[in-house]
Amino acid sequence: MSDAHTSFNRLVQIMDDLREKCPWDKKQTIDTLRPMTIEETYELADAITNKDWQNLKEELGDLLLHILFYSKIGTEQNQFTLTDVIEGICNKLIVRHPHIYGDVKVNDEEDVKRNWEKIKLKEGKKTSVLSGVPASLPAIVKAARIQEKAKQVGFEWETKEDVWKKVEEEMGELHEAMATGNTDDIEAEFGDILFSLVNYARFLRIDAEGVLERTNKKFIYRFTKMEQEAKSEGRELTDMTLQEMDAIWNRVKKENAVTGFAKKE
């Protein structure tokens, strides 16, 4: 038996022990675990973003524990076993990779993704190409996933220039809506702009969610630095004019290097 098999079996045994003997573990349900699983997933995402390999290893372990926990509860509820979970994903991967386990020929990754979507529809589990997009995904991530899935059936712009024209068109429609003062129309058009910008980011091969988070972090750093500089002068931001705050902000931006960010306009 390989080291991985030995370690996996050890973890399964620990999960069994905890479920049987630990008061906290015994009380957990799929509903109580759900928010913790989401939190663990975001912690994993942070480790990936930061290229923190040590933390990545730890977070993968935490998620693996959650998978075993759900499987244990599934077994107790006579719904499925851990073996069912593992065999299920093995079978799915084989069926959805006919270019590896069958005689289907593919030219590139786009062919693979198109075949994947076709197979999912043939399985009858999805009534639409978009059925597999989780309802609880953050809106920007969901927009990108929707667009990617639509692309697999050919519903796609031809060039990034076409997409940018759509962005400009949506911005024009927002201005028209603003002129009417209709709140519902303004919100709808603003949403259309965001959706179009996510699409444009996809054509530029940019992760819209990731770059927005980078901008969030950059703003947090600069704003915090501005607060610190104001305090070093014995002042609070609430007592300063916008022009005075802007002067500090611009000094912060001009720094050659800052923690976590290179100089970037």
Taking 70 as the threshold, does the pLDDT of residue 132 lie above it? yes
**pLDDT at residue 111 in the model:** 87
Predicted pLDDT at 174: 97
- Quick one: pLDDT at residue 4? 92
Distance of CA 134 to the CA centre of its chain: 11
Burial bucket for residue 62 (CB in 10 Å: 0-12, 13-18, 19+):
middle
Q: Is-contact 196 163, C-beta < 8 A?
A: yes
Tokens 């973003």: give the residue.
Answer: 49
Cα 183 from Cα 101, distance rounded (Å)? 54
CATH class name, domain 3-93: mainly alpha
Residue 213 vs residue 122, higher pLDDT: 213
Per-residue model confidence (pLDDT) at position 110: 85
124 pLDDT band, cuts 50/70/90, is confident
The tokens 């939190």 sit on which residue?
39
Q: What percent of the chain has pLDDT over 70?
A: 96
Is 56's pLDDT higher than 90?
A: yes
CB 152 within 8 A of CB 114: yes
For 192-242, how does the pLDDT look when each residue is reduced to its tens digit (9 = 90+)? Answer: 999 999 999 999 999 999 899 889 989 999 999 999 999 999 999 999 999
Average pLDDT of the residues in 6-10 = 95
pLDDT at position 261 is 52
Assess whether pLDDT exceeds 60 at residue 14. Answer: yes
Higher model confidence: residue 208 or residue 263?
208
Please compute the mean of the pLDDT values over residues 99-118 and round it to a whole number. Answer: 87
